[in-house]
Amino acid sequence: MSDSLLNVVADGSSAHLSSFRTRAAELDAADPLAHVRERFLLPTGVIYLDGNSLGALPAAVPEALNDAVHRQWGTDLIRSWNANGWWEAPARIGDSIGAIVGAAPGQVVCGDSTSVQIFNAITSALRMRPGRTVVLADPDSFPTDLYLADSVANLLGAEVRRVPVADVAGVLRAEGDAVAVIAYNHVDYRSGELRDMRGLTAAAHDAGALAMWDLCHSAGAFPVDLDANAVDLAVGCGYKYLSGGPGAPAFVYVAERHLADFAPALTGWHGHANPFGMEAGYTPAPGIERARIGTPPLLSMLALEAALGAYEGVDMRAVRAKGLALTDLFIECVHALGLETLTPAEHARRGSQVAVRHLDPHAVMAALIDRGVIGDVRPPDVLRFGFNPLYIGYADVVEAARLLGDILETKAYEDARYAVRATVT
């Protein structure tokens, strides 16, 4: 056992632990985002470090859902499509998300699942680059992204090449004339590594290809700047950092320059130019409305819209600064415990999560959850901790690390009850 580990997990009089706590208190006192925590309903006694999987409940959501169910649905009934703006919700909420991810109005629409949005975006990218049949994808991407890329390729006679991020630019230089689109996660879901969106998008454009980014682990966590980075297409979910609730609808971004050519595989009447004309043939709506498909899940949509209110008056640059400071502090704490992190130390390569290695991650996380620190696990050996700067404080970071150190020091995770794995980890 290292001396630093013994110091950190010792009682509150430990000089080492006290220094972490003192620093955390000073940072919390000076935090310009501290007041935003009040916009969330966080359970007492819980340090919630799994907002990169499911965001905490925003305080505005229960009232919004109550109104949506009892007044809009219960009283206004079908009239709500007009009276309460249900029809306009996908584009309206899309613009709210666009403001968070750096997209000008009219380029983001919300609705359907992340999987559907990815499928449509990759399909459209291939159609917008006729004669090019290759999709570049990260072999370590979130599995769904790869499954969907393969599905599109099978349908359209294309090829998915699994190319690590470090090799993308070289492949584009050597064989770029065959590549239609690069489709990568902005943040690696296991390690928390932030990819070079600007550089890889530019490399794709130099080869005549398009760039599509999965923003599930970046939207709402820090500035994404889609327009400024000249991104072509992007997809993201509403239930992680955006805190829209379990199964919240996803969104798709289509750069304005591509809207007239955006041709998704799945088309439905909500994306028709004349949806209530009930025409037999499909004519796409102008603008981002053509990315709509069928009737959206309105209750989930309205919950997400209420959740996005937590970002009102929030500067995404301040969110980024705090996210880096939180993860800096946590990395320092877990390194003091003698643990290895997979998350890059460089700020330019780090998202808003920290991946910590341990040979028995399921048992350790189960023991942590029992003590009120909620994170999750990714195979084979990753303890994953997500830091949403809107509601996580610096004292939370130090206490979470203290409890982790205590579990490792006492080997509490070796208790037989933690050998039983839950279905969702």
User: Tokens at residue 272, please?
Assistant: 């028709």
298 and 335 together in one domain:
no
How far is the C-alpha of 397 from the C-alpha of 354, rounded, in Å?
A: 11
Which of the following is catalytic: 184, 189, 222, 239? 239
Could you list the pLDDT tens digit for every one of the 425 residues in the chain?
344 443 544 444 345 678 899 999 999 999 999 999 999 999 999 999 999 999 999 999 999 999 999 999 999 999 999 999 999 999 999 999 999 999 999 999 999 999 999 999 999 999 999 999 999 999 999 999 999 999 999 999 999 999 999 999 999 999 999 999 999 999 999 999 999 999 999 999 999 999 999 999 999 999 999 999 999 999 999 999 999 999 999 999 999 999 999 999 999 999 999 999 999 999 999 999 999 999 999 999 999 999 999 999 999 999 999 999 999 999 999 999 999 999 999 999 999 999 999 999 999 999 999 999 999 999 999 999 999 999 999 999 999 999 999 999 999 999 999 999 999 98
Domain with residue 406: its CATH number is 3.90.1150.10
- Peptide bond preceding 380 in cis form (omega within 30 of 0): yes
Which of the following is catalytic: 214, 232, 376, 396? 214
Does some domain include residue 70? no
How far is the C-alpha of 333 from the C-alpha of 327, rounded, in Å?
A: 10
Which of the following is catalytic: 37, 240, 290, 350? 240
Where among 311, 335, 356 does a domain terminate? 311
Does some domain include residue 73? no
288 and 332 together in one domain:
no
234 and 324 together in one domain:
no
- Total of domains in the chain: 2
Q: Which residues, in sequence order, are bridge partners of residue 50? A: 386
Does some domain include residue 71? no
292, 285 Cβ separation under 8 angstroms: yes
Q: Residue type for 375, please?
A: G
Where among 311, 328, 355 does a domain terminate? 311
- Alpha helices (H) along 337-375: 361-370
105 and 252 together in one domain:
yes
Q: How many CB atoms lie within 10 A of CB 193?
A: 22
What is the residue range of 117's domain?
Answer: 87-311
- pLDDT, one tens digit per residue, over 28-84 is 999 999 999 999 999 999 999 999 999 999 999 999 999 999 999 999 999 999 999
> Is position 384 annotated as part of the catalytic site?
yes
182 and 320 together in one domain:
no
Does some domain include residue 377? yes
Taking the whole predicted model, whether its pTM rises above 0.75 is answered as: yes
In 3D space, the residue among 289, 307, 291, 315 whose CA is nearest the CA of residue 245 turns out to be: 307
Which of the following is catalytic: 384, 385, 391, 402? 384
Which of the following is catalytic: 142, 189, 253, 311? 142
Does some domain include residue 324? yes
334 and 218 together in one domain:
no
**C-alpha 10 chain-centroid distance:** 36
24 and 106 together in one domain:
no
Domain with residue 200: its CATH number is 3.40.640.10
300 and 323 together in one domain:
no
Where among 265, 287, 311 does a domain terminate? 311
Does some domain include residue 77? no
> Is position 214 annotated as part of the catalytic site?
yes
Does some domain include residue 48? yes
109 and 245 together in one domain:
yes
Q: How many CB atoms lie within 10 A of CB 343?
A: 26
91 and 150 together in one domain:
yes
3-state SS assignment for residue 114: helix
How far is the C-alpha of 247 from the C-alpha of 253, rounded, in Å?
A: 19
266 and 373 together in one domain:
no
> Is position 239 annotated as part of the catalytic site?
yes
104 and 38 together in one domain:
no
